[in-house]
Structures are given as C-alpha cells and as structure tokens.
Amino acid sequence: MAHGFLDPAMAQEGIFSRRFRLTILIFAIVTFFPSLQGCFGSYWTHSDNDYTVGEEHEVDFPADQTYVMTQDVLRGQGVLFDSKAGHQIVTFWKPADQPVGTLSALAGNVAQYRYELEIVEDGTRRSKIIANVRTENIAQDQLDNYKASKKLNLFSDFDQLASNLPPPSLTPGSGGVNFALLPGENLAALSKRVTGNPDNWPQIAKDNGLKSVSDTTGIQSVWVANSLIPKPSSTAPHPAGAP
C-alpha cells in the first residue's frame, strides 16, 4: 500500500461503521422520542396559567381602608407582595406544595402560585376583596387547595383584624341627630318621617356617605342635619285666665 492512499477495504469498513452508528441513532430517536414527548406533553398541558374561581369577601370598610388592612394581614403572615395602582395587590410567586416531576423540572417547568387581589368599592362605606390565584404547572384538581380563603385564611384573618378596628364614622359629630332606620325604610321615607319632605333625601344621603335612596343595607341609623329638621313651634297657647 502506497503511503497517503486509503485501503479500499478499510474505507468501506469505515463507511459501514458510520452508517451503522447513524442507523442506531435514528432508531433510538424514533423509538425513544415519542415516549419522551409524551412525558413532557403531560406537563406542558399544565404549563399555561390557570385561574381558580374568583373569591369575594364583603366588608364594612371603605375601599381605601380595606386596601391598607389587607396589606396588614399579608404582612402579618409574612407574605411578600407588590402594591399596584387601583387598589390592587400582587403577591410574589411561591413554590407549590407538590413539585412537578423530574422530566418537567429539567424542561424548566416550575409548580408555583401567586395571588392577585383587588379591592372594589361597594358604596362609600363598604367594599369587596376579590382574590384570584394564578398557578403554573399545578394540576386542575389541586387548584382548590390554593384559594386565598383556604391557603392564606385571608378573609378570616381580615375579619379578626376588623373586629378590633371598627369602621370610622362617616357622619359629622355635631349639628344633627341620628335617627333609627325602620325596617324596610329607604332614605326618602325616612326623610318624610323626620323632615316632613321626602325630597330632602339626597342631602341626607350625601351627609351619610350613601349613594342612592336605597343604599341602606347594613345601616341601622342615619344622621340628619338640624337644618333639615322642623323646629318646634315657639308659640304656645296661653294658660286659661292669662291676660
């Protein structure tokens, strides 16, 4: 064999060896990849963001105060969060109780969740806490375990805080009288009973921070300014025999 020339038999053997290795590689891909794809696919179907059914909790506090109190509850539980405009609160992502499988973890999927809270006005005196949980790579049948009312005890802790902090009075401290609201009575009916004129109800509503004539749910008494209350007659009948 001359130097610098490849023996035909060795060349043919090398080509066969490369073809054999290539065949083995293609066979491995064809047979193994579908099963690998199926393993990842079962997790990828859960990689989209999911929302549980939104929860609501009504409280007897103005929206501004409820917003601050909700943050106090989260701080008390050691929950990290960002405050957003529009009375919104978003907590940081936290790992789920049940992590994803090994293959899904290798693909970069992480089982985690966070809460997106919003405080919505419900009249001037009341508001609602709306709590949604956003999850990633958590099975649908596990989502209920991550609701704010269950995982954080958010609403019960809020109510406990509220029991030690009664809502502030929205009515003036002087210059009027508090009248008990009768069962089924709206502001127009109360205005007629107290002031003699049902058309005074808009001013009564404004003084009490109410939005409409029927915005009386949960209200036990209503403040009425002295200027709206008829003054008793100053002329009294003379006693008999008086000059």
Compute the average pLDDT of residues 169-183: 79
Query: Is 78 a domain residue?
Result: yes
Does residue 134 belong to any structural domain of this protein?
yes
Is residue 155 domain-shared with residue 187, that is, in the same domain? no
Lowest-confidence range among 64-73, 79-88, 126-135, 139-148?
A: 139-148
CA dihedral 121, 123, 127, 128 (to 10 degrees): -70
Taking only the tens place, the pLDDT of each residue in 193-216 is: 999 999 999 999 888 878 899 988
Q: In this structure, are 157 and 62 located in the same domain?
A: yes
Q: What is the pLDDT of residue 109?
A: 80
**Domain check: are 75 and 148 in the same one?**
yes
Mean pLDDT for the chain overall: 78
Does some domain include residue 141? yes
Residue 115 and residue 148 in one domain: yes
Last residue of a domain, one of 163, 190, 210: 163
Bridge partners, residue 114, by sequence:
134
37-51, 83-97, 148-162 — which is least confidently predicted?
37-51
| Range name among 31-35, 94-98, 130-134, 210-214 with the lowest pLDDT average | 31-35
- Please answer whether residues 122 and 208 qualify as being in contact, where contact means their C-beta atoms are separated by less than 8 angstroms: no
Range of the domain at 198: 176-228
Any domain includes 35: no
Portion of the chain with pLDDT greater than 90, in percent: 46
- At 33, the pLDDT band (50, 70, 90 cuts) reads very low
Task: Output the domain CATH number for residue 138.
Answer: 3.30.530.50
Are 59 and 152 in a shared domain?
Answer: yes
The percent of the chain in helix, strand and coil, each rounded to the nearest 5, is 40, 20, 40
